[in-house]
A and B are shown apart, each in its own frame.
Chain A
Amino acid sequence: MRIFFKKLKFLSLGVVLVAICNSVMAFQADGTITICSIEPLTGVGTALGAPNYIGKKIAVDEINASGGITVQGKKVKIVLVSEDDNTKPEQGVPLFRKCAESAKALVITGSQYSRVTESMWGLLQKKLDDASDPGLQVPSISFLSMKAGITGVSEWAFRNAGSEPDQHELTVSLMEKRYGPFKNYAGAVEANEAHSVAAWKAAYLPVLDRRKIKPVEYVEWFETDRDFSVQIRKLKRAETDFFILSSHFQANVGAMLEAQRQGFKPKMVVSHIGADAVEMVDLGKKSTEGIVFPAAIHMAFPQVKNLADEYKKRTKEKYMPQFTGLGYEGIMIVKEAIERANITNTPTSLAQDRRKVRDQLAAIKNYKSFAGMTLNMNANRDIERPTYLVRIKDGDFKLFWTPEKQFLF
């Protein structure tokens, strides 16, 4: 037994040395561009991370198939380094450093889960050109992390997800115009989930305040709850007709099933992007019918069809959530920024190249997305984009409203 442990010790020492050597070596071979992708491929955030990563991968494969990104007149291939943060900030933080310092990534994309993204971005230099701040100087862009205000952490941080306050203002006002007036507004919040709480505080409450409305009822639950009878009963007693679900699909399904049981049928139910999951219809069946939520990209767009087909081929899924489209689009945006940045892409020019790309990301104006809409980067480094509404109808996620065509049904 002792000999076994001795051998194990030496073996593990050898493994450690090899691992250290491997990660210290630059991933960047000559003639490629490294983009790092950090997201939750395992853990509780898998439903957000996996589809998004597939979108990124499809984009990179497409770009490389046509030769790569144009740098100094030549085509250069992208190396997409994928890291899994397991939805834990203490995994994400060292990974971010690894991507910035060992992998020498030009851009780091990630993460999806707000809590992890915030910790990672805390490593970045807060303000540009601040010599006293030893923070990392790498442009990083997240294609989700919906928590309001998250890009405020650093001037190197960007987000392509859309602004929640605007999304919900639009959703509520459109629903009021079409189906209103409503008498009793009520909200349900996933009390232990940061994004849902932040969405309620930063997006929904201001929407109600602007209209001088006080919610007639306010209930809370946890995403892991199994019994929603108490909350639904309260909502029903308050005769809620406009129901705001600031919650993710796990609890949404349970709550709506309970609502179906108790015969609680509010005239209108709206939710945030946490409702963009196929479980809403697979598990919720008829109970989630009619729920409206904002989306940045939808697979019904004709321009998105190719991506959706590729996604379906790779995952055998019939529904593609907006996270995939955001990931694909995001890589295309990064490609555009890199091409405009006029980088030199040598091992010594990395710092300047990163700064150039960052500046180009900040300067995105009137960018035409593959999905057809026009994007602009605002002063808070959040991409401003048109919002679309999706409605669950006949067990499917149908595109409901677009700025161009208004209501589709």
Chain B
Amino acid sequence: MIWLADFWATYSTLVFSVGVHMLLALSIWLTLSCGLLSLANAAFMGIGAYVSALLTLNADWSFPAVLAAGGIAPALVALLIGAPVLRLSGVYLAMATLAFGEVVRITVLNLDITGGPEGLNGIPLATEGWHIVLLLALAVYGLTRLRRSRIGRAFEAIKEDEVAARLMGIPVDRYKLLAFVLGGFIAGIAGALNAHFTFFISPREYGFEAAVDILTMAVLGGTGSLLGPVLGAGILTLLPELLRSLHDFRSLVNGAVLVLVVLFLPKGIVGGVRRKTLGAELSTKLSTKLDQSAGKAEQNAAREAQQPSTAAPSTPLLSIRHLGKHFGGLHVLHDVSFNVPAGSIYGLIGPNGAGKTTVFNLVTGLLPPSAGQIDFQEQSLVGKAPHAITRQGVARTFQNIRLFKEMTILENVMVGMHAHLSYGAPALLLNTSTFRQAEQQARQRAYELLTWVDLHAKADQVADNLSYGDQRKLEFARALATEPRLLLLDEPVAGMNPAEKTALMAEIRAIRDRGYSVFMIEHDMRFVMGLCDRMAVLNFGRIIAEGTPEEIRSNPEVIEAYLGKEDEQ
């Protein structure tokens, strides 16, 4: 066993660094998995290292307390700067976090308490191998649990399509902040661990190079799974040791690896190891169960159908009054008023550019109205965030389909259930029966919805692979998963052939018969006339007619809008 002791004496620092780097790569994985490129993690690591080292040196705190402080301090900083910084997207976020990192580095460089450019010396050695192993194991376990829960799905949905994620009832800003703060916490712990075995820290270690190193590890391994960053960190830490003979050219390899991976392995070494959400075993179990639950679904539908009648029949489900919207000097909507009665199919038609989709964007909270009122079930929707409006029971589909393309079909639907999965963090982390039951029920309900739109056989496929018609169907199922009272459909038959249109008509009727109310925008007159109970016609931002299809068909103003004035011809 002597060789082992020798090995340890020589390489323990290296092994420790591998562990610390793995933690760092996991910390940046959190933001990357939301589609955010934040380069702040090196600075968070630095804050953790300095706070913990100063507490050890000056305040004589115990090691566990120091570690905790090393994690909490950067997490608090992340919380503070997160709200404004995370409003930025893409390269702006990368640049802002880079600037933040520079501010932190230069501040540390200039403070007396941090020892300036000399750094802090003589930090007692407190980190032991098992500390790192334990914390790394905890991080991997915690993040794995997170990834397999509604939070992991929310992260992925945000990465794929932020707007669609909001409309699935996900409070996107809060989740981004969670990823940012949690990433800061883990990076801080890594910094604290690092400070207590390297004996000495200096601002140089936490600058731009460090930020890039952390990013490289995650990109090299691939962010499609947790294994990726861990593996990437291992490789990139050990590689320079193996290449010692290259001396100054050593980091040439790091750069080349980064370029080659980006060019030839876009998903990293580990690639997109897609977890099976629905094994073959489960899917057979579900389909046998389905017969029983079909009855239950009918009951649900019946119950849902009952609900509208409990409201006074005179009060509409959605009431739009004097709605106006202008972008600068451009008036898109002007004094728009109409009511969508409960339990009906309501149509909004009008020529291109009439402002139809803007009405949807105002109702779903994606845009604030300039004037007027929008009431849903007698509660105002104006000023509410999109996710809150979804939670009140308004769901929508998009004219240009917006699915979470890299997620499976089942996962797409399960994202829609986000708001209705109410388990908390402890249940999720400890994998309690509450958590498992809730997830199992969600899976089952998602499978039912997919069965209903006839996509259940493809539940495990990635959404991007679906045909156009199937993608529309999946968007329906996903919208229904939010358990809406009112379903907004934005040009549902765009690009469909007559047979598909007829099939969809039947499906929309079936949706209505299940107790949902439908509010749709459509171009295809025959389709709308045959389907809607009532409709409104929008032209140049104004309602020019409202009534039953028969009334609309004979309205002279509508005929004029669609066919032009006779004397103009």
Partners in one complex: no
